[in-house]
Structure 1
Amino acid sequence: MGVAKKSIEEIVQAIGGKENINKASHCVTRLRFSLKDESVVDTETLEEVDLVKGSFSANGQYQVIIGQGTVDKAYKVLLEVTGLQESSKAEVKDEANEKLNPFQKLVKLLGDIFIPILPAIVTAGLLLGLNNILIGEGVFYDGKSVIDVHTQWKGFSEIVNLIANTAFTFLPGLIGWSAVKRFGGSPLLGIVLGLMLIHPNLMNANEALQQDVLPQWDLFGLGVNQIGYQGQVLPVLFAAWLLAFLEKWLRKIVPDSIQLLVVAPVALLVTGFAAFIFIGPVMLTVGTAVTDGVMAIFGNLGGAAGFIYAGINSLLVVTGMHHPFIALDLQLIAAVGMTYLWPVRVMSNIAQGSAALAMMFVTKKKTLKGTALTSSISAFLGVTEPAMFGINIRFKFPFVFAMIGAAFAGMIVAMNNVEGTIGIGGLPAFLNISPNFWSVYFLATVMAIVIPFILTLVYAKVKHKDL
């Protein structure tokens, strides 16, 4: 199906005309604009355009949700209508970054580092969930696991566990690659840096914290602990920044003819010494303090912590501030083998999907029904963007009721100290939850579905009969 030129013209007019557009690009579902002045955007008129499924501003970009497949055609027509040159997402992001304040830039930086490695982490989480089903006692057999009853599955389980644990075991390597790339250095050096920090000759950092005496290098009279940073996040992040900084600086001052012999060796050597002498020990202390703090919060204020975190998670997503919590999840998993945050966060996915689904039953508009149904399914599978921006934020009250439902569901999850790993969101997320917590987790899931659905349905029937 083609895209009507009139629809694109209406979009352009609603966002302030072509003179208000600096650059435009698109992703899988959205048109992305870097605008001169977002205050002139007529959101109400924009979202009445038949092609538009929602809109929002995030990280200095104004984004208009069109839909997968259709957005490619819409972008081509947009270039024709406006006379703009085709821009990449990176170009639009770079221009949009200039509008961000320092805190927003930090949040975006963390997102740029951790989002590229999420596929590996999510895959690892799903496989760990599969293995949990195989080794969890009482899942299918009273007091026994699947591999206890069916011993022929033991080898299969061990291989699955090895594959699943690889991403977490070599996490510094993944972060090193992504971070150095984001900071403008060579990704390959980032991988080497990350693997260097978990070299098998080094004592595991978690084991080191339990020891009174540590193996050391004698560096001209200075004792340097031979500690690795397996699964740690902060040491490799800061070391990656230093490595990229040194590499870029050296490339400016070292003649081209000898750069291959000088730049990488010197940058890696200096960063390695700095990492083991200063960066690693300091950041390990900071990371340990953060882990202990989160554990204490959920240990002493579990219900309140879960209520607040699940309740505001949708707001964090809207502002892009949810990305730092990925690093926190990874830090917890590395330190204690699980996270309390992910199981709580998933309640927000489910609640947003439920509120959008309720809107499908409320509205009489055929287009809105279709959008509500498809976006709710997407949210139930862990992708909340279409539901939030296409339906719930657009009408406001479904978004609020989803936050309320998520808060109460998150409270139940946190009160019972439900443990899990990072993985897929939405309804399939139970695969990432330890099986011995499934009963209470499923109860919370039901709450995350029922509360937003009923509140949205009743409120819409009473207050918005014209929908």
Structure 2
Amino acid sequence: MAIKKEAVEQIIEGVGGKENISAATHCVTRLRFALKDESKVDKEKLGNNSLVKGSFSANGQFQVVIGQGTVDKVYDLMVEMTGIGQASKEDIKNEAAKKLNPLQKAVKTLADIFIPILPAIVTAGLLLGLNNILAGKGIFYADKSFIDVHANWKGFAEMINLIANTAFTFLPGLIGWSAVKRFGGNPLLGIVLGLMLVHPDLLNAYSYADALKNGNVPQWNLFGFHFDKIGYQGQVLPVLVSAYVLAKLEIFLKKKIPDAFQLLLVAPIALLLTGFIAFIVIGPVTFAIGNWITDGIVAVFDHFGWLGGLVYGGVYALLVVTGMHHTFLAVDFQLIVSTGGTFLWPILVMSNIAQGSAALAMLFLAKDKNLKGMAGTSTISAYLGITEPAMFGVNLRYRYPFICAIIGAALAGMTLAISHVKAESIGVGGIPGILSIYPQYWLTFAIGMAISIVVPFVLTLLYGKFKGEKA
């Protein structure tokens, strides 16, 4: 596909001209800009550009959706026409971060930590879903599971379960790697730190309550002071805070210790000090905080489930717009390991499907060929868990589809919350997400999906037709 210079020139003008661009890069489908002043963006000009399939601002970056393959050519031509140097994604992130407030920076930090480990978690979720199909009772037979009837498949199911559970069993190791890397330290030390917190010599965190009740919690005696010798399996906060301490200690020691001695001294000292601080201070404090947060959320959904589902289903799309949805990944992880499942993630799936359904309605309402194409492709991606093209390329552009999607997601979220639908893990945040749901909740989850498909589609279609909205 040949790219016209005039179309690229319009994109440059649409983001405020080349003098408004601090830096620019691209990902698989989008141009990513760090702009000096986002108020100079002309969204109408961008929207009328045949190359542009949508635009939005997130985490201090202004992003223009172009499409896979084409975005590379547009970017190269833009660099040539503007004279700006090519930048990496990290350059753009650093430039954009300068404009973020403290809350946005905290959200961005959590996103930078958890997004890199999502592939492992989503894979685990899909594999656990496969194990559920084989081991769940009532799926193939009335009161028995598939492996109860076909015992020769039992070993196969057990192996799948082991492979799937590994990511959650050693979750602190994954978080440790990603967090220490994000905070500027050696990610390999982060892995060691995370695995250290779940060392088999420690009392398993899942056995702590029983051990405490029976009065046989193992302890360390450090010069007359006693500290509980427990692990932090599945915990998020202990490894996050410890990773920050480890990274900052490592950076400090590298500045103070001569290069010739760094290999011998920096890592051992940093890891040893962090280990003592983690087991004596950070672990006990953050373990308690994590349990308070979990207990509080569980209590809300136990006593006011319908309200929690309604609100979370309704606001989740707004959280995506602000980028704050990433903070709930940590909550999902905490719920999974503390209670055996998360009731928040299934509601997230409803929101994603609802945005896709509203975009699908716009496919029928649209007269413009570019919008039809964008609506069709973004519907498919939203049904598979990627909502940005549907939200920013279609629904937010006309507003009412976005609102209709929120209504559908809120109703579907309320339906799921009333029935206490739980996901065993995080999986694909779309229609395939049913594989991550406990089998006993599949019917309710399917009803929720039907609501999130039908309600936004019908509301968007009716509003568009009767209000005479042109698209």
Q: Pick the TM interval, shorter chain.
A: over 0.9
- How far the C-alpha of 1:285 sits from its partner, in A, is 0.1
- How far the C-alpha of 1:466 sits from its partner, in A, is 3.3
Task: Specify the SS of the correspondent of 2:385.
Answer: coil
The answer on 1:325 being equivalent to 2:361 is no
- Count, aligned residues: 467
- How far the C-alpha of 1:14 sits from its partner, in A, is 1.4
Q: What's 1:397 paired with?
A: 400
Q: Which moved more, 1:296-305 or 1:455-464?
A: 455-464
The answer on 1:339 being equivalent to 2:351 is no
Q: What's 1:74 paired with?
A: 74
- How far the C-alpha of 1:211 sits from its partner, in A, is 2.4
Q: Which moved more, 1:318-327 or 1:200-209?
A: 200-209
The answer on 1:439 being equivalent to 2:437 is no
Q: What's 1:225 paired with?
A: 228
Query: Structure 2: how far apart are the matches of 1:228 and 1:315?
Result: 37
Task: Specify the SS of the correspondent of 1:235.
Answer: helix
Instruction: Give 1:220's aligned amino acid.
Output: F
Q: What's 2:63 paired with?
A: 63
Please list, as runs of the form range in 1=range in 2, the aligned pairs for 1:51-130 lying within 5 A after superposition: 51-130=51-130
Instruction: Give 1:271's aligned amino acid.
Output: T
- How far the C-alpha of 1:465 sits from its partner, in A, is 4.9
Query: What do the CA deviations read for 1:186-243 (whole angstroms, capped 9, x no partner)?
Result: 0000000000000000001221133233101110011011100011000000000000
Q: What's 1:192 paired with?
A: 192
Q: What's 1:236 paired with?
A: 239
Q: What's 1:464 paired with?
A: 468
Q: What's 1:173 paired with?
A: 173
Query: Structure 2: how far apart are the matches of 1:4 and 1:378?
Result: 27
Instruction: Give 2:16's aligned amino acid.
Output: G
Query: Structure 1: how far apart are the matches of 2:166 and 2:258?
Result: 40
Query: Structure 1: how far apart are the matches of 2:129 and 2:314?
Result: 25
The answer on 1:299 being equivalent to 2:302 is yes
Q: What's 1:271 paired with?
A: 274
- How far the C-alpha of 1:37 sits from its partner, in A, is 0.5
Q: What's 1:315 paired with?
A: 318
Query: Structure 2: how far apart are the matches of 1:180 and 1:28?
Result: 27
Query: Structure 2: how far apart are the matches of 1:358 and 1:364?
Result: 12
Query: Structure 2: how far apart are the matches of 1:155 and 1:59?
Result: 46
- How far the C-alpha of 1:367 sits from its partner, in A, is 1.9
Pick aligned residue for 2:429 from 425, 430, 433: 425
Task: Specify the SS of the correspondent of 1:71.
Answer: helix
Instruction: Give 1:233's aligned amino acid.
Output: V
Query: Structure 1: how far apart are the matches of 2:121 and 2:311?
Result: 25
Q: Using the aligned pairs only, state the percent identity.
A: 62
Query: Structure 2: how far apart are the matches of 1:137 and 1:413?
Result: 21
Instruction: Give 1:127's aligned amino acid.
Output: L
The answer on 1:366 being equivalent to 2:365 is no
- How far the C-alpha of 1:108 sits from its partner, in A, is 0.3
Query: Structure 2: how far apart are the matches of 1:4 and 1:209?
Result: 66
Query: Structure 2: how far apart are the matches of 1:174 and 1:372?
Result: 36
Q: What's 2:155 paired with?
A: 155
Q: What's 1:30 paired with?
A: 30
Task: Specify the SS of the correspondent of 1:164.
Answer: helix
Task: Specify the SS of the correspondent of 2:16.
Answer: coil
Query: Structure 1: how far apart are the matches of 2:3 and 2:190?
Result: 43
Query: Structure 1: how far apart are the matches of 2:417 and 2:382?
Result: 22
- How far the C-alpha of 1:344 sits from its partner, in A, is 1.0
- How far the C-alpha of 1:167 sits from its partner, in A, is 0.0
Query: Structure 1: how far apart are the matches of 2:113 and 2:469?
Result: 46
Instruction: Give 1:452's aligned amino acid.
Output: P
Query: Structure 1: how far apart are the matches of 2:454 and 2:292?
Result: 38
Query: What do the CA deviations read for 1:297-321 (whole angstroms, capped 9, x no partner)?
Result: 1101111100110111111011110
Query: Structure 1: how far apart are the matches of 2:378 and 2:468?
Result: 21
Instruction: Give 1:250's aligned amino acid.
Output: L
User: Mind listing any 5+ residue stretches in structure 1 that lack a counterpart?
Assistant: none
TM-score relative to the length of structure 2:
0.98
TM-score relative to the length of structure 1:
0.99
Query: What do the CA deviations read for 1:346-396 (whole angstroms, capped 9, x no partner)?
Result: 000100000001111111222211111111001001111111111111111
Query: What do the CA deviations read for 1:35-55 (whole angstroms, capped 9, x no partner)?
Result: 111011111121111111111
Query: Structure 1: how far apart are the matches of 2:307 and 2:182?
Result: 36
Pick aligned residue for 1:256 from 253, 259, 271: 259
The answer on 1:407 being equivalent to 2:410 is yes
Task: Specify the SS of the correspondent of 2:94.
Answer: helix
Instruction: Give 1:74's aligned amino acid.
Output: V
Q: Which runs of 4+ in 1 moved over 3 A?
A: none
Task: Specify the SS of the correspondent of 2:440.
Answer: helix
Query: Structure 1: how far apart are the matches of 2:136 and 2:288?
Result: 33
Instruction: Give 1:390's aligned amino acid.
Output: G
Query: Structure 1: how far apart are the matches of 2:174 and 2:300?
Result: 29
- How far the C-alpha of 1:462 sits from its partner, in A, is 1.7
Instruction: Give 2:367's aligned amino acid.
Output: K
The answer on 1:48 being equivalent to 2:48 is yes
Query: Structure 1: how far apart are the matches of 2:393 and 2:180?
Result: 35
Task: Specify the SS of the correspondent of 1:211.
Answer: helix
Instruction: Give 1:344's aligned amino acid.
Output: I
- How far the C-alpha of 1:70 sits from its partner, in A, is 0.9
Query: What do the CA deviations read for 1:63-122 (whole angstroms, capped 9, x no partner)?
Result: 111111111111001101111000001001101101000000000000000000000000
Task: Specify the SS of the correspondent of 2:33.
Answer: strand
Q: What's 1:355 paired with?
A: 358
